């Protein structure tokens, strides 16, 4: 049984990129733009490390493909909605206790110079 006071182990995937058509404006839906996401998973990796067993952790190559698919697929209006869909992909892995997702939209049209727009959410397994 895991120590409840131990800091959770984390697996991080950063900078996953895909061309998507998310946004509320017609021009965003038509031409699309690059979206990026970062995912930080909280899980217990003790069993995986002890047995050197991929089946007892999250295969991050498989997860990356799932996150990419969400970024590149069905358009949504809000980054908040996109972030939730990405969190749902992560929480579909039974070993994941919690996830923090950040969605970046660096090519948003704000009318002023900027580096990035992002939305971050944290979700825990119910």
| Number of domain units in the chain | 1
Tell me the C-alpha distance between 76 and 32, whole Å.
12
30's CB contacts (< 8 A; 6+ apart) are 21
Q: Is 65 a catalytic residue?
A: no
- The residue segments making up the domain with residue 118 are 9-124
The answer to whether residue 4 is domain-embedded is no
The answer to whether residue 44 is domain-embedded is yes
The answer to whether residue 85 is domain-embedded is yes
Q: Does residue 92 surpass a pLDDT of 70? A: yes
The answer to whether residue 52 is domain-embedded is yes
DSSP string, 32-65: -EEEEEEEEEEE--HHHHHHT-GGGS--HHHHHH
The answer to whether residue 58 is domain-embedded is yes
pLDDT for 104: 98
The answer to whether residue 94 is domain-embedded is yes
Catalytic member of 105, 114, 118, 119: 105
34's CB contacts (< 8 A; 6+ apart) are 17, 18, 19, 20, 106, 107
The answer to whether residue 2 is domain-embedded is no
pLDDT for 5: 73
pLDDT for 2: 52
Task: Band the pLDDT of 7: cuts 50, 70, 90.
Answer: confident
The CATH number assigned to the domain holding 49 equals 3.30.1130.10
The answer to whether residue 77 is domain-embedded is yes
Q: Does residue 54 surpass a pLDDT of 70? A: yes
Mean pLDDT of the chain: 95
């Amino acid at each position: 049984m895991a120590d409840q006071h131990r800091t959770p182990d984390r697996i991080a995937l950063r900078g996953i990129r895909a061309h998507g058509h998310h946004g509320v404006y017609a021009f965003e839906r038509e031409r699309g733009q690059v979206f990026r996401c970062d995912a930080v998973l909280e899980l217990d990796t003790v069993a995986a490390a002890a047995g050197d067993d991929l089946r007892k952790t999250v295969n991050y190559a498989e997860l990356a493909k799932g996150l990419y698919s969400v970024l590149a697929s069905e358009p949504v209006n809000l980054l908040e909605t996109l972030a939730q869909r990405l969190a749902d992909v992560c929480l579909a892995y039974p070993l994941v206790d919690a996830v923090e997702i950040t969605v970046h939209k660096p090519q948003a049209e704000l009318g002023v110079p900027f580096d990035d727009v992002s939305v971050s959410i944290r979700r825990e397994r119910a």
